[in-house]
Amino acid sequence: MNNPFKPLILVGTIVLVVLAIFLLAKTNQTLNTAATTNTVSFAGEGKVSAKPDIAIISASIVTQAVDSKSAQNDNSTKSTKVTEFLKQQKVEDKDIKTSGYNIYPQQKYPPYGGQPTITGYQVTQSFEIKVRDLGNIGTVLSGLVSAGANQVSNLGLQVENPEALRDEARQKAIVDAKQKAKTLEKQVGISLGKVVNFTENTGGYPYPMMYESKAMGMGGGGVTPDVPVGENEITISVSLTYQIK
């Protein structure tokens, strides 16, 4: 004999199962929220200083002529002299890199409108030069101008391989944050659990020093500049977030 209430029992069973799943999920969400909401964060900072071991120089050769070929030939001649000078200063081929080469038409515009006419061409070849002998920076800067580089735009004093310094600064920052966490535990009387979040911010990189050549009307030229190298500082800030037990 068929039970007339069997469909109702089946529907009720399904409803109970759905409710049980919903309650289980809700309970799990509450537990997870509690585990991540009761947290506290601590900031730490680490600093490391080191003397630069390389200098990065940006220099350009700018030439002008009535036609592009003449401008290129003049630029090429000066480029060869610059490269030869750098090799005389023990700068290796791998440390002399062409960073840009441009040819621009020089145009003259009519006073009352109309189409401009090309009056000549300007060629610019730019170099990025890495100098490893920091005691020779001044000689290189002044010699570049004498060799034909009429734009020496900036000088950056850097640490070539800063990763070890970053690791040291990071370790100092983490120790600083952990020490603050231990101090708070004692002061407030709380118990901290595991670290649930970590963030890091790196800063403290040196800004390039500016140097203008005599050819650009800013002094220099035959005078060898004095370039103190000083020290570079790497700063890393971290944040450690702990669970509160």
The domains of the chain are located at 53-160+206-226
pLDDT of residue 16: 64
Residuewise pLDDT in 10s, the chain (245 residues): 555 655 556 656 665 655 556 555 554 444 444 445 689 999 999 999 999 999 999 999 999 999 999 999 999 999 999 999 999 999 999 999 999 999 999 998 888 878 889 999 999 999 999 999 999 999 999 999 999 999 998 889 989 888 999 999 999 999 999 999 999 999 988 899 999 999 998 765 444 443 444 343 333 445 677 788 888 889 999 999 999 98
HEC string of the chain?
Answer: CCCCCHHHHHHHHHHHHHHHHHHHHHHHHHHHHHHHHCEEEEEEEEEEEECCCEEEEEEEEEEEECCHHHHHHHHHHHHHHHHHHHHHCCCCHHHEEEEEEEEEEEEECCCCCCCCEEEEEEEEEEEEEEECCHHHHHHHHHHHHHHCCCEEEEEEEECCCCHHHHHHHHHHHHHHHHHHHHHHHHHHHCCEEEEEEEEEEEECCCCCEECCCHHHCCCCCCCCCCCCCCCEEEEEEEEEEEEEC
pLDDT of residue 5: 53
CA–CA dist 74, 79 (Å, integer):
9
CA–CA dist 35, 242 (Å, integer):
10
Q: What angle do CA 230, 204, 236 make, to 5 degrees?
A: 130
pLDDT of residue 12: 60
CATH of segment(s) 53-160+206-226: 3.30.70.2970
pLDDT of residue 37: 66
pLDDT of residue 230: 82
Q: Which of 47, 222, 27, 39 is nearest to 141 (CA)?
A: 222
Provide the CB-side half-sphere exposure for 113 (13 A, CA).
0
